[in-house]
A and B are shown apart, each in its own frame.
Chain A
Amino acid sequence: MPGFTRREFFQRAFAAGLAGGLVLSGLGKQAGAAGRAPVGTVIDLTRCDGCRLAGVPACVRACREENQRRFPRPVDDIGNYWPQKKKEDWSDKRDLITRLTPYNWTFVQKVEVEHGGKLYRLAIPRRCMHCDNPPCANLCPFSAQRKTPEGPVVIDPDLCLGGAKCRQVCPWGIPARQAGVGLYLKIAPRFAGGGVMYKCNLCYDRLKAGRPPACVEACPRQALLIGSKERMRALARERAGQVGGYIYGERENGGTSTFYVSPVPFEKIHAALMQQKAAQANPSAPGFPGMPVGVGNYLDSVNGLALGMAVAPVAGAVAAGVAAYRTMKGDE
């Protein structure tokens, strides 16, 4: 991607059948059955500097501005999650940009990692990875979360009850919960439900209108790129080849739509992040993800049992046939 301007990128990516071009421009509806090309993103850590000179990284600022109207507006009197004496309320921390919260859907982690005798200062934009087979969406007990054909994984804030299961089954614990908002308030807010889960939706509305996500558009260093997923995968590989670097997100959680490219191994990044997390005032607080390399999908083991579901009726029928034959013979 050296010498590859944002303008060129959009020309190449969108023109080359980028989901944003065809699918997401509205033509996608007609093209639907013919197959919508899902989008992918590249996050190039050789380019991102976390907007060193700015107070707030451009991607973070743009995301907050773009999604301001989607941020939760909880009721004044938020009850605890009975019978527990706690609740998740981030409404008094709306300005927090050092982790993922219901009011901050992307943030930049900064680590120093030594590799090959050289010290790297890395800035790592974090947000939802938009997985290929997202356990968050698959395991939502009310299907309030879904994987869109265009790639982004989105939460329906009108259906979400805020159980936060999605966060528990996400390898990165991405979705953030805000209490005092959403459907649960209309049912039995004291006894059931916990609010609504919030996370990056890759600016799904903008994508459908043929526009890139706000973070991508705002990045001054072209460290964030969007295009057709396969094109992005190829770009990430090309870039990793150029810098002798590493890719993250291609196989993690069974594959995602986000490809990080780094000049240092992600094992080292993960270790540095975990060290940072452990040093935080409340290390168990959500919203500060690591980068576990090769992390598996929550559904891997049970998907292995799917075959059992197919075999069970056959086995049942055969056994029944034998047993029925024997008893009928006996009856006669």
Chain B
Amino acid sequence: MADKILAGEKKVKRHGFSVRVVHWTVAVSTFLLIFSGIGQLPVYRRYMLDRLPGLAWTSDFSVTLAIHYWAAVLLILAVTYHLVYHGLRRDRGILPRRGDVRQSVRIIMAMLGQGEEPENDKYLAEQRLAYAFIGFSLLLLIVTGLVKVLKNLPGVDLGADIIFWVTALHNAAMVLLMLGIAAHLAAFLFKENRYLLPGMFTGKVDLDYVRRRHQLWYRRLAQKGR
């Protein structure tokens, strides 16, 4: 996934194939998990979603639970892949750094027309923070979810207190994750951020955009290209 300037195309290679596959696997499995997870609250029948054409299955717990389990397998697969892959490669670009909160405020203010945006690296400070927040929520959901899977097995008794707290944490982490995803998507309300979107589909982003906004990253790439 070597990032590089593709001068001929006026693009910059931002994400390799496996990063994109992992991103979309996490996105799809997380969507399925949230939908089927909300379905574990008996709400689709109550609010009559199951009466809409083709959605009768939404109030069948045997279906939504199976979706939840399968999607969890997919998410765990993608998350372990992500952690091991980038861990082995020592990729640290997306991890939060000191001063990221202050810098995020500056970036957002700049997008609102207030002040100058700081020089950015490959990832914006707010992207690094969002990654940590969503990553933490996902890990909390996975760990508590695994305990819940264990608890469902016959002959496993974890004790009422542990089960109560694990359930509460799982539910709370889902709320955190939904907030994180909402913020992640809300970022694209800003036009300036939309230049990043093609990166998650084709792996490439516009060269001019990188030169203009991701100066730190651009300089490093340019130096490497020499």
Partner of A305, one of B46, B66, B77: B66
- Encode A296-332 as 1/0 by CB contact (under 8 A) with B: 0111011101101100111111011101110110110
- Asked if B69 is at the interface of the complex by the 8 Å CB criterion, the answer is yes
Instruction: Give A113 Cβ to nearest chain B Cβ, in Å.
Output: 31
* CB pair A309 B72 closer than 8 Å: yes
* CB pair B42 A164 closer than 8 Å: yes
A100 to B226, CA, bound (A): 80
Instruction: Give B32 Cβ to nearest chain A Cβ, in Å.
Output: 14
By beta carbon, the residue of chain B nearest A314 is B80
With A169-B61, A327-B2 already in contact, the answer to whether A309 and B76 are too (CB < 8 A) is: yes
Majority DSSP secondary structure for residues of A touching B: helix
* CB pair A139 B88 closer than 8 Å: no
Instruction: Give A82 Cβ to nearest chain B Cβ, in Å.
Output: 9
Q: Which of B131-182 contact A (CB under 8 A)?
A: 146, 149-155, 157, 160, 163-164, 166-168, 171
Residues of A participating in the B interface, judged by any CB pair closer than 8 Å: 81, 83-84, 132-133, 138-139, 141-143, 146-149, 163-165, 168-169, 194, 254-255, 297-299, 301-303, 305-306, 308-309, 312-317, 319-321, 323-325, 327-328, 330-331
Please, which residues of chain A bring their CB within 8 A of the CB of B66?
A: 301-302, 305
- Asked if B41 is at the interface of the complex by the 8 Å CB criterion, the answer is yes
Partner of B40, one of A133, A141, A164, A321: A141
By beta carbon, the residue of chain A nearest B38 is A141
With A141-B171, A163-B42 already in contact, the answer to whether A303 and B153 are too (CB < 8 A) is: yes
A323 to B81, CA, bound (A): 9
With A165-B61, A302-B69, A312-B77 already in contact, the answer to whether A146 and B41 are too (CB < 8 A) is: no
* CB pair B88 A324 closer than 8 Å: yes
Central interface residue in A147, A168, A169, A320, by most chain B CB within 10 Å: A320
Please, which residues of chain B bring their CB within 8 A of the CB of A331?
A: 2
* CB pair A320 B69 closer than 8 Å: no
Partner of B84, one of A81, A305, A308, A321: A321
- Asked if B73 is at the interface of the complex by the 8 Å CB criterion, the answer is yes
A301 to B69, CA, bound (A): 10
By beta carbon, the residue of chain B nearest A162 is B42
- Asked if B48 is at the interface of the complex by the 8 Å CB criterion, the answer is yes
By beta carbon, the residue of chain B nearest A137 is B163
* CB pair B88 A163 closer than 8 Å: no
* CB pair A165 B152 closer than 8 Å: no
Partner of A316, one of B1, B81, B151, B153: B81
Please, which residues of chain A bring their CB within 8 A of the CB of B88?
A: 320-321, 324-325, 328
A6 to B72, CA, bound (A): 52
Instruction: Give A329 Cβ to nearest chain B Cβ, in Å.
Output: 11
A303 to B149, CA, bound (A): 8
* CB pair B84 A316 closer than 8 Å: yes
With A139-B61, A141-B40 already in contact, the answer to whether A323 and B18 are too (CB < 8 A) is: yes
Instruction: Give A250 Cβ to nearest chain B Cβ, in Å.
Output: 14
A84 to B43, CA, bound (A): 12
By beta carbon, the residue of chain A nearest B75 is A312
With A138-B151, A301-B66, A302-B69 already in contact, the answer to whether A312 and B80 are too (CB < 8 A) is: yes
- Asked if B89 is at the interface of the complex by the 8 Å CB criterion, the answer is yes
By beta carbon, the residue of chain A nearest B47 is A83
A143 to B77, CA, bound (A): 27
A249 to B120, CA, bound (A): 66
27 A-B pairs whose Cβ atoms sit less than 8 Å apart in the complex = A81-B46, A133-B152, A133-B153, A133-B155, A141-B40, A141-B41, A143-B163, A148-B160, A163-B43, A163-B46, A168-B61, A169-B61, A298-B61, A302-B69, A305-B73, A306-B150, A309-B72, A309-B73, A309-B76, A312-B76, A313-B77, A316-B80, A320-B88, A327-B1, A327-B89, A328-B88, A331-B2
* CB pair A317 B163 closer than 8 Å: no
Instruction: Give B46 Cβ to nearest chain A Cβ, in Å.
Output: 6
By beta carbon, the residue of chain A nearest B78 is A316
Instruction: Give A308 Cβ to nearest chain B Cβ, in Å.
Output: 4
Instruction: Give A74 Cβ to nearest chain B Cβ, in Å.
Output: 19
* CB pair A146 B163 closer than 8 Å: yes
- Encode B60-77 as 1/0 by CB contact (under 8 A) with A: 011001101110111011
A328 to B41, CA, bound (A): 45
* CB pair B151 A320 closer than 8 Å: no
* CB pair A316 B41 closer than 8 Å: no
* CB pair A320 B152 closer than 8 Å: no
- Asked if B82 is at the interface of the complex by the 8 Å CB criterion, the answer is yes
* CB pair A308 B73 closer than 8 Å: yes
- Encode B10-34 as 1/0 by CB contact (under 8 A) with A: 0000001010000000000000000
A327 to B91, CA, bound (A): 12
